[in-house]
Structure 1
């Protein structure tokens, strides 16, 4: 074997001056350290901001392998996020509801009462793996039917009670997509997601150039080739090959949506925590097809993946509009999830995101402007701000408290979008002369003065009004 030698980070083929030289060097150094300490034959990474690739690099210890952002690696369970997008599309079309039991759309599985949302969030209680030989390293012909994937005891926990990661659960979702669409999972994925998003280097089979998969001996600097099995029915759980450039583009879609595939509201819904956090682990949970973690004061979402010979991680941060992808061709070693999070932190700390410039509204509705300013819920002062499109924001003026943005509805009310008030109805109640008496938010009455006697405060207001201690 040729003696491995290090090579410098491969420069991005998408030059961008947005990142400072010191930041680019810090990213390259983090990648180099991860490849060296993790003993990965090759490792490639990319960072995107605002949907654009701003840095890409690679390290290799194998003379003949010089990866860049166009070289394919197996991405393992990042495939699950793609499958989740297909299910969300069916929901948005009205074909199904996430609360539907699986049986309604894919009968005779034996686990049909588990809901689609539970399968997406790994809360259906299904087994983590298939029965029989390790499915990632054995032929798919050993599992020709769903019954071979699920086995005789597919349930390990009551549905909805805990997060228990399940590869067979995503096989069921892939089979659901095939049953509803009447086409193979990978064809539906290509037509409905990959092609519209321009992910031309992502697919179920490798296409040159691609990285070979290796096992690295734990106690010697030696390599062993890993088999690249076709996963058959398990494809929807981990079959895809992709590149750092394609995955960075996919991460941009997960951040902001694309009406050709999924709306911004739907991709945002995927990022909402759905699974209960495990005892003692309040920093991480799972949404609908994406994992969620809290690191270094920032919320990250994405997914990791592994198959024999490959490791992968995709991580994104909404507040910084940043995404990072890390791929390696070894079975174990480098902590690619940590590396991806570190790449995001490096850019975010060194070059914080510029806020959008403040711009005045083109037009202001006087009826909306009448709602702006301080209101009182009991004695707590609350601020209401008018935003574009007739939206409102409500929150405490100081300290902690409930806050939410509100979406305007056609009937003149607003619907809460987050936190305690998510889904709750806000109404401006007017007097006979048209002036605003109070705000009604899910039975809470907000008044212009604390306990305004002119408003219908629940329980009434003492007619003697406010007083000093000696007047009580």
Structure 2
């Protein structure tokens, strides 16, 4: 709608003008498609377009995390493996891969020596050169402490398990090419924006250097375009079996460390920042390098994503800008629900017979049948633990979320095959509230229900 497009452009224009960015771009993806792009000011005298590269900084970490999850899904590692299992020269060999992904390994925030973002990478030829005497500032697994060199270690892990292939080449071959992201790369190619620092007290600018950061590249080296990042956003929302499944992407969006801020304002998953903005739970990453700011947020509930890019070192609350773009879309054009459709194919009558009311003690719940023989436990009282369940080959179901995530749901039967109860992580669900004949742990008072 025209009013939505105007509101989006206005938000981008305010950010560019108030933040005094030489140029700025934004985009919104919905339903896997680009629905809006906007640009302000100029690159080389022209309004920037979707194929102009900007440096995206720590958005790079999101890409590296996908490479690590691919290795996990192939069975080449486990997330709870100590990094020393795979990298003998790791600075904290007992820290797990999951802790490195979630910045909870306790590693220092920055590498030793000069400011790495403005230092040529060849000055650190070996991984050991990245860490000083105090590489670990906190006990592993105790708290979130953002660590750029931690992602350098993960890049080395990818190279080790891909037979020495540089991580950037692995990324191009396994992720960028399948997704059609030909303009995302380690070094810029024209057309690209130049990076600038803007003087705080005068409307003048200073060019920023754009070094190849070498071993620190997995922390923030990548350059990309609005068009490519829109493809990345669609992938993060939907998944792509050639690259990473939707289930593994959802795992990356799950908080892996205690959230930061009051009221769960911010947290971190696996290579993924998590924030609450305007009442919505967003996932993605912000990024900054000298001369550049970037952000990409996805809102899975609304099936939307927004990104913003600018070629200035500071001055713009870049994360807020993209969150506001999402809020504008949700306000002006709320998501229309998908149409209801019946499940395809024949229905398993035995499975259908499991649906309907069940009771945990006296609390009423119901089981619903979903696609692919899945089940959903919902509360009928308004209180109680709910979850979705994935069907397994052995006839059980595995919880996908909430309290029962990872727990096993079993259908228990009598010798004649009739269903007696459900066992959900040892909790017993019966067809009636505290049925006298049911296998309720501790038994049921033989006098039954009574009044005062």
Mind listing any 5+ residue stretches in structure 2 that lack a counterpart?
none
The answer on 1:209 being equivalent to 2:202 is: no
Gaps of 5+ in 1: 1-19
Q: Quick check: 1:394 aligned with 2:398?
A: no
**Deviation of 1:281 (Å):** 5.9
Question: How far apart, CA to CA, are the structure 1 residues paired with 2:91 and 2:351?
Answer: 54
1:382 counterpart = 2:365 = yes
- Offset of residue 65 of structure 1: 3.9
User: TM-score of the superposition, structure 2-length normalised?
Assistant: 0.97
Work out the number of aligned pairs and report it.
450
Asked whether 1:321 is paired with 2:296, we answer: no
Task: Give secondary structure in 1 for the equivalent of 2:428.
Answer: strand
Q: What are the residue-to-residue correspondences of 1:99-178 with 2, within 5 Å?
A: 99-178=80-159
Which residue is 1:244 aligned to? Answer: 226
In 1: Cα distance, 2:17 partner to 2:327 partner: 20
- String of CA shifts for 1:397-441, please: whole Å, max 9, x gaps: 132321000111122211111110111111121223332211111
> Is this contact kept in 2: 1:135–1:231, CA < 8 A?
yes
Residue 61 of structure 1 deviates from its aligned partner by 5.6
Match of 1:454 in 2: 437
Mapping for residues 21-420 of structure 1, pairs under 5 Å:
21-60=2-41, 64-181=45-162, 182-278=164-260, 280=262, 282-362=264-344, 363-420=346-403
Question: Deviation at 1:389?
Answer: 1.6
Displacement, 1:222? 0.4
Q: 1:214 to 1:164 in 2, by over 3 A?
A: same
Find the aligned partners of 1:171 and 1:358 in 2 and give their Cα distance: 46
Aligned pair 1:465/2:445, yes or no? Answer: no
Q: Output the CA distance in 2 between the equivalents of 1:375 and 1:140.
A: 61
Give the corresponding residue for 1:435. 418
The structural deviation recorded for 1:350 is 1.3
Contact 1:215-1:309 at 8 Å conserved across structures: yes
Q: Deviations over 1:241-291 (max 9, x none)?
A: 001111111111111211111111111111111011236462210000000
- How far residue 62 of structure 1 moved from its aligned partner, in angstroms, is 6.4
Cross-structure match for 1:17: none
TM-fit CA distance, 1:390: 1.1
Q: Secondary structure at the match of 2:209?
A: coil
1:132-169, Cα deviation, whole Å (9 max, x unpaired)? 11111122222121121112211010000000000000
- TM-score if structure 1 supplies the norm length? 0.93
Return the offset for 1:131. 1.1
- Asked if the contact 2:181–2:228 (Cα under 8 Å) also holds between the matched residues in 1, the reply is yes
CA distance in structure 1 between the aligned counterparts of 2:413 and 2:269, rounded to whole angstroms: 40
Distance 1:248 1:96 in 2: 30
Residue 207 of structure 1 and its aligned partner are, at CA, apart by: 1.0
* DSSP 3-state at the match of 2:5: helix
User: For the Cα contact (< 8 Å) 2:89–2:128, is it kept in 1?
Assistant: no
Following TM superposition, the consecutive aligned residue runs of length 4 or more in structure 1 with deviations greater than 3 angstroms are 278-281
SS at match of 1:394: strand
CA distance in 2, matches of 1:345, 1:279: 21
Distance (whole Å) between structure 2 residues aligned to residue 49 and residue 433 of structure 1: 52
Q: Does 1:426 align with 2:409?
A: yes
